[in-house]
Amino acid sequence: MEGFINRYEDELKNQRVYNTKQNKEFFDVFFAVYDKLITSFDQMKESLAEGRNSLVELQGKVNEFEKLKDGLKEEFANIGRTLAEKLKDTGTNAIHTDEFRQLRKTADHAKQMLEALNKQETQRMTLNQELLQELATLNDLWHKEYMAIQTELNKVNKGHSSLKIKAEFKADKSAFIGFMKDIFRGSRIREAALADLAAEFSDFGAMYKELDKAKTTVGGSTQIFEEYFNDNISALLTWQIPNRFVIEYRGKELKHHSLGQRASALILFVLSQQENDVIIIDQPEDDLDNQTIYEDVIKLIRSIKPKTQFIFATHNANFPVLGDAEQILSCVYSDDCIHVTSGSIDSPNLQQEIVNIMEGGEEAFRQRKRIYEIWKPQSS
């Protein structure tokens, strides 16, 4: 190409000096195209010059690459010799290039797997933190429920001194153990181990937070315990440990009292419900002695009487008389009819009805009174 340009460039430029007045328009167009050709020759010469320069530069880079390659070959050979000596010292055969490539490929794959595992572990830790936050929220809801119950119990306990109802948050360990027995049925984990778990942890959420400690508490069945726990984790973490309630009457737990004393506690509980504006009780004296009726029941009735309407069906005179009844209805069944006498406790007729029906009549009342007078200690 360069030879072609050198050969014809001068000849073509010399032809440009031709000039004629004949057919001027034709020759104007002709020489315009001719000038473009001459310009193209100039551009080609410039491009060829640039190409030669680039070729020289590229050849220089090739020479540099060859030198670098030779240096790397020598460096790699030195590394190979050093590695072979170290492997020989450890009693290991030398690694060939192909083996090295395979090992490198395996190492790269292992690195990718490790990165994936690290990513999964990060996701697992994030989910675990979210789960712990949800467990804390759930526990707060359970505690709010407990505090609402405690508020109501305080109202009951405030009503009288002899009856107290105590509550303990998530303290029903028997229910806790019973639920675990159902979950771990077939695992051969001993009931004593489940009892140890119930004593150590407040609920399954606390158990989940310290699962390693829970497995240690179980003892020899750690793997089986973890399998059952993970298989039932949703049911375990959402199960609410029942609160424990203890009713105390006169300073002693209710279950240690007699039937009559339990009845006293029950009627005191009913009477102490301050939200009730009407209370109806049939024969409240059943299983109650007269001392309990007066000391506990009657005194409580008189204290809350201004705010509550009481209706009692009773044979015990303490209720209408000492309770200061506002209205009394005396019922007598005779000849297939019920005869009713009603009125205020200040009515003589009603007072006589009380003496006759509840005290056994005036004679019986006087006899008891006389005997009680005899029983009184004589002053010296």
Q: Look at residue 247 and tell me if it is in a domain.
A: no
- Shared-domain flag, residues 318 and 342: no
Domain boundary among 275, 307, 323: 323
Q: Look at residue 115 and tell me if it is in a domain.
A: no
Q: Look at residue 103 and tell me if it is in a domain.
A: no
Q: Please state, for a pLDDT cut of 90, what percent of the chain lies above it.
A: 27
- Shared-domain flag, residues 238 and 278: no
Q: Look at residue 227 and tell me if it is in a domain.
A: yes
Q: Look at residue 84 and tell me if it is in a domain.
A: no
Domain region containing 50: 2-75
- As a whole number, mean pLDDT of residues 186-204 equals 93
Is residue 257 helix, strand or coil? Answer: coil
- Shared-domain flag, residues 316 and 347: no
Tens of pLDDT, residue by residue over 26-82, are: 666 666 766 676 677 677 777 777 777 887 888 888 788 888 878 878 877 787 777
Domain boundary among 21, 45, 75: 75
Q: Look at residue 284 and tell me if it is in a domain.
A: yes
- Shared-domain flag, residues 178 and 238: yes
Check residue 18 and give its pLDDT.
Answer: 54
Tens of pLDDT, residue by residue over 266-315, are: 888 887 776 778 889 898 888 787 888 888 888 888 888 888 888 999 98
User: Which has more pLDDT, 24 or 324?
Assistant: 324
pTM: 0.55
Cα–Cα distance for residue pair 167/247, rounded to 1 Å: 9
The answer to whether residue 350 scores a pLDDT higher than 80 is yes
CATH number at residue 307: 3.40.50.300
Mean pLDDT for all residues in the chain: 83
The answer to whether residue 150 scores a pLDDT higher than 90 is yes
Q: Look at residue 141 and tell me if it is in a domain.
A: no
Lowest average pLDDT, out of 74-88, 212-226, 236-250, goes to 74-88
Domain count, the chain: 4
Cα–Cα distance for residue pair 148/151, rounded to 1 Å: 5
User: Which has more pLDDT, 179 or 65?
Assistant: 179
Check residue 149 and give its pLDDT.
Answer: 93
CA atoms 285, 290, 295, 299: torsion sign: positive
Cα–Cα distance for residue pair 345/330, rounded to 1 Å: 11
- Shared-domain flag, residues 306 and 341: no
DSSP, residue by residue, 55-79 = HHHHHHHHHHHHHHHHHHHHHHHHH
CB atoms within 10 A of CB 289: 13
Cα–Cα distance for residue pair 342/322, rounded to 1 Å: 18
Q: Look at residue 157 and tell me if it is in a domain.
A: no
Domain boundary among 242, 269, 298: 242
Cα–Cα distance for residue pair 308/275, rounded to 1 Å: 9
